[in-house]
Amino acid sequence: MSTLWFAINAIMPIVLLIVLGYFLMRIHFLEEKFLKMANRFVFFIALPVLLAKNIYDIDSIEQIEFGIVLISLLGIFLLFLIGLLVVIWVVPRDDRKGVVLQCIFRSNFAIIGLPLATSLGGNGAAALVSILAAFTIPLFNILSVVSLTMFKKEQGGLSFKKVVHDIIKNPLIIGVAVGSVLLILREFIPMVDGVRVFTIKTNLPFVYQAVKYVADIASPLALIVLGGQFKFKALSSMMKEVSIGVFGRLIFAPALGFGLIYLVDTFIPAFVMKPSYFAGTIALFASPVAISSAVMASEMKADESLAAQLVVWTSLFSVFSIFGIIVLLRSLGLL
């Protein structure tokens, strides 16, 4: 019973906010224009501020545990390679191949992952997720551009300049970069009796508090907007692609992620397993596909409708898959 209650407490706040957004949209309390503006605010302002703050809140650069970072990057890259083979083999339409591939390897790490990890593992897990974001978000964006470009024969291959431009201008990457720079600069500030003589948090508390207010808005507003954007449409023409994407994102991806951790923990004695690793792995590998994947698909002339359906259905079914993963890991004493 305690395991079940733990899982309910971890996932239900996220579910209830999504349901709230869906309900408010259905009764016309919210409008499409508000959702678009709120989504823009979250993506360009609140989430970057949240990521920057979480990274700055890390006590020291020495806290960065590169073992789990390397495992996470390896997992994402393996998902990309395996997903590439799958879509080439089973997805007939070129404009859908990249969309399904993106769904398999790219999780909603910023919006779903951050609050989920915090709910599961507290501030330690939140800090870990922010550290992982500094490495995984750039990789997500690079591989997304590659996946949506490689099947467009008329474009004559990949554009390195386009890939670099999309990475540099991504607000989440900018937020991670700002937080990382501030963290590095803080390391050079001298210490007296083990305390740094100057930090934003202690010496400019009004600035830190204002930043915290904006950061606190990010996840709740993003989840409400996600619920408001839910639209259930006919799936008859894309059932095969949606099924592949949902299975790959919610079943295969977390299985691969946890499998890598198990192998490393078994065969590399120097790797010390921590509960926050599992919370971070759930956030990274078990979250639904990123909402921004549909926007990117539209901009790059892929199948926008399929991308939107994948966002909806992976988000919906992730409630049950994440719940099952939490119950399993809690039963094994890993959370």
> How many whole angstroms separate alpha carbon 123 and alpha carbon 141?
26
CATH number at residue 150: 1.20.1530.20
Per-residue pLDDT of 262-316, as tens digits, reads 888 888 877 777 777 888 888 899 988 887 787 778 767 788 788 888 988 888 8
- Tokens standing for residue 31: 């409008």
At 1 the pLDDT is 54
Residue 10 lies in a domain: yes
Residue 335 lies in a domain: no
Average pLDDT, the chain: 84
At 219 the pLDDT is 84
> How many whole angstroms separate alpha carbon 176 and alpha carbon 138?
10
3-state secondary structure labels for all residues of the chain:
CHHHHHHHHHHHHHHHHHHHHHHHHHCCCCCHHHHHHHHHHHHHHHHHHHHHHHHHCCCCHHHCCHHHHHHHHHHHHHHHHHHHHHHHHHCCCHHHHHHHHHHHHCECHHHHHHHHHHHHHHHHHHHHHHHHHHHHHHHHHHHHHHHHHCCCHHHCCCCHHHHHHHHHHCHHHHHHHHHHHHHHHHHCCCEECCEECCCHHHHCHHHHHHHHHHHHHHHHHHHHHHHHCCCCCCCCCCHHHHHHHHHHHHHHHHHHHHHHHHHHHHHCCCCCCCHHHHHHHHHHHCCCECCHHHHHHHHCCCCHHHHHHHHHHHHHHHHHHHHHHHHHHHHCCCC
Residue 123 lies in a domain: yes
Q: How confident is the model at residue 234 (pLDDT cuts 50, 70, 90)?
A: low
Residue 314 lies in a domain: yes
**Looking at the 3D structure of the chain, how many domains does it have?**
1
At 3 the pLDDT is 58
> In the predicted model, what is the mean pLDDT of residues 46-53?
88
Residue 178 lies in a domain: yes
Residue 92 lies in a domain: yes
Q: How confident is the model at residue 320 (pLDDT cuts 50, 70, 90)?
A: confident
170 conformational bin, left if phi > 0, alpha if psi -120 to 50, beta if neither: beta
- Is the pLDDT assigned to residue 153 strictly greater than 70? no
Residue 250 lies in a domain: yes
> How many whole angstroms separate alpha carbon 56 and alpha carbon 11?
26
Contact (CB, 8 A) for 25 and 35: yes
Per-residue pLDDT of 28-38, as tens digits, reads 999 989 998 99
- Is the pLDDT assigned to residue 100 strictly greater than 70? yes
- Domain hosting 63: range is 2-230+238-328
Q: How confident is the model at residue 157 (pLDDT cuts 50, 70, 90)?
A: low
Q: How confident is the model at residue 130 (pLDDT cuts 50, 70, 90)?
A: confident
Give the least confident one: 20-29, 69-78, 186-195, 220-229. Answer: 186-195
Residue 333 lies in a domain: no
| Count of residues making up the chain | 335
Residue with tokens 């607000």: 171
Per-residue pLDDT of 161-213, as tens digits, reads 776 777 788 888 888 889 889 988 988 888 877 778 788 888 899 999 999 99
Q: What percent of the chain has pLDDT over 90?
A: 26
Q: 1-36: buried (b, 16+ CB within 10 Å) or exposed (e) per residue?
A: eebeebbeebbebbbebbbbbbebbeeeebeeeebe
At 99 the pLDDT is 94
